[in-house]
């Protein structure tokens, strides 16, 4: 199809030959010197006529291209149907992705767990900065008392961890409570180690 479209038809060949003849004439005219007597204006009618002819040919070519584009669009309805189906599928997929993002943002349990984790991390960071600061000499008896208190708090937290698990039937709530208890126990143990 492409080769047949690329080869000029008989009408096109005549137009090509006519254009070549005009080019040859222009070259011959350009070789001849034009003498304009002083005080007279040159005759531009030929140049104007040639320009108008070129404009008319350009308009004809554009009209021909527009007609071929319309026939191409009309000839292949299957391609248009496939493109429309692809566009619908993309729109559906984009809509599903928006729904998933909204569901994640709405889940309050997940937000509560994330907030609890963030609080635990903040406490841990605060503890590390406190332990990094040089402390004044500590009374060994006072340190021992504080360590005993921390151990008691850790034991109490462990006991509380066991009780909510029995009371909560929801496994998610139990997991959150267990995670919080582990963080509290770790914190208490760290305090005890830092104070010793």
Residue 135 lies in a domain: yes
pLDDT at 21: 92
**Is residue 68 situated within a structural domain?**
no
Residue 21 lies in a domain: no
Candidates 14, 46, 17; CA nearest to 29 is 46
**pLDDT confidence of residue 48:** 87
Q: For residue 167, is it within any domain?
A: yes
* Position 36 in a domain: no
DSSP state, residue 39: T
**Containing structural domain, residue 132:** 108-195
Residues 6+ apart with CB under 8 A from 196: 143, 147
Q: What is the DSSP letter of 38?
A: T
Check if the beta carbon of residue 158 is closer than 8 Å to that of residue 185. Answer: yes
Residue 187 lies in a domain: yes
Question: What's the gap between Cα 149 and its chain centre?
Answer: 54
Q: Is residue 40 part of a domain?
A: no
pLDDT tens string 132-144: 555 555 677 887 7
In a domain, 123, yes or no: yes
For the chain, residues with pLDDT lower than 50 are 165, 168
In this predicted model, what pLDDT tens digit does every residue of 114-166 receive, in sequence order?
878 888 887 787 777 666 555 555 677 887 788 788 888 877 877 776 665 45
Our separate counts of H helices and E strands in the chain read 7, 0
> Cβ(116)–Cβ(179) under 8 Å?
yes
Q: DSSP letter string over 160-187?
A: HHHHHHHH---HHHHHHHHHHHHHHHHH
> How many domains, the chain?
1
Q: What is the predicted pLDDT for the residue at 140?
A: 77
């Amino acid at each position: 199809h492409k080769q047949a479209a690329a080869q000029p038809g008989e009408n096109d060949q005549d137009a090509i030959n006519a254009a070549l003849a005009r080019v040859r004439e222009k070259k011959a005219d350009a070789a001849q010197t034009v003498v304009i007597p002083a005080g007279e204006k040159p005759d531009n009618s030929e140049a104007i006529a040639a320009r108008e002819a070129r404009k008319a040919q350009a308009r004809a070519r554009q009209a021909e291209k527009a007609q071929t584009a319309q026939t191409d669009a009309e000839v292949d309805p299957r391609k248009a149907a496939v493109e429309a189906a692809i566009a619908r599928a993309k729109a559906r997929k984009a809509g599903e992705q928006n729904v998933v993002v909204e569901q994640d943002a709405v889940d309050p349990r997940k937000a509560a767990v994330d907030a609890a984790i963030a609080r635990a991390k903040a406490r841990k960071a605060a503890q590390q900065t406190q332990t990094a600061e040089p402390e004044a000499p500590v009374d060994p008896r006072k340190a021992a008392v504080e360590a005993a208190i921390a151990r008691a708090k850790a034991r109490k937290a462990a006991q509380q961890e066991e009780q909510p698990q029995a009371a909560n039937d929801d496994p998610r709530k139990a997991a959150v409570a267990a995670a919080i208890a582990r963080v509290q126990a770790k914190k208490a143990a760290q305090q005890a180690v830092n104070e010793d």
